[in-house]
């Protein structure tokens, strides 16, 4: 069964460093998403991506964040200068289409900023 994959599973970084989180969405999916979950809290939307551009973003997704689909399979989230409060689980998700279609999540990347 096709699934969303994410690398790395865990990342530890120093405050101020750049990190890139990688995702490979399900191959025939068209919409891609990043969510994050701070420990013990609810899952929060960051950004959605369709047709090689951002379709929606939340207020969390500020200028420190960027997304890219550098080739036909990968989808990346870059945090330019990490802050302590960026420590969270980051989930990539993908769906076939935008309107009320199921989003399938990857296993997550646990990011710890020291």
Partner 1 sequence: AQKITQTQPGMFVQEKEAVTLDCTYDTSDPSYGLFWYKQPSSGEMIFLIYQGSYDQQNATEGRYSLNFQKARKSANLVISASQLGDSAMYFCAMRAPSEYGNKLVFGAGTILRVKS
Between 97 and 114, name the residue whose CB sits nearer to partner 1: 97
Of 43, 54, 68, 83, the residue at the interface with partner 1 (CB under 8 A) is 43
Tokens at 76, concatenated: 């990346």
Does residue 25 bind partner 1 (CB under 8 A)? Answer: no
Does residue 81 bind partner 1 (CB under 8 A)? Answer: no
Q: Which stretch binds partner 1 (CB under 8 A): 20-28, 42-50, 65-73, 77-85?
A: 42-50
Alpha-carbon 43 to chain mean position: 12
d(CA 21, CA 56): 19
SS3 25: coil
Between 79 and 93, name the residue whose CB sits nearer to partner 1: 93
DSSP per-residue string spanning 38-97: -TTS--EEEEEEETTEEEEE-TT--TTEEEE--SSS-EEEEESS--GGG-EEEEEEEES-
Reported residue count of the chain is 114
Of 30, 66, 76, 107, the residue at the interface with partner 1 (CB under 8 A) is 107
Of 56, 81, 85, 114, the residue at the interface with partner 1 (CB under 8 A) is 56
Interacting residues with partner 1 (CB under 8 A):
31, 33, 35, 41-45, 48, 55-56, 58, 89, 91, 93, 98-108, 110
């Amino acid at each position: 069964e096709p699934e969303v994959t994410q690398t790395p599973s865990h990342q530890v970084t120093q405050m101020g460093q750049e990190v890139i989180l990688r995702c490979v969405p399900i191959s025939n999916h068209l919409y891609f998403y990043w969510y994050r979950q701070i420990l013990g809290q609810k899952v929060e939307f960051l950004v959605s991506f369709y047709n090689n551009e951002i379709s929606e973003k939340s207020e969390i997704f500020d200028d420190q964040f960027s997304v890219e689909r550098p080739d036909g399979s990968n989808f990346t989230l870059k945090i330019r200068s990490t802050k302590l409060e960026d420590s969270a689980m980051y989930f990539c998700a993908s769906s076939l289409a935008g309107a009320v279609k199921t989003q399938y999540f990857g296993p997550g990347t646990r990011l710890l900023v020291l």
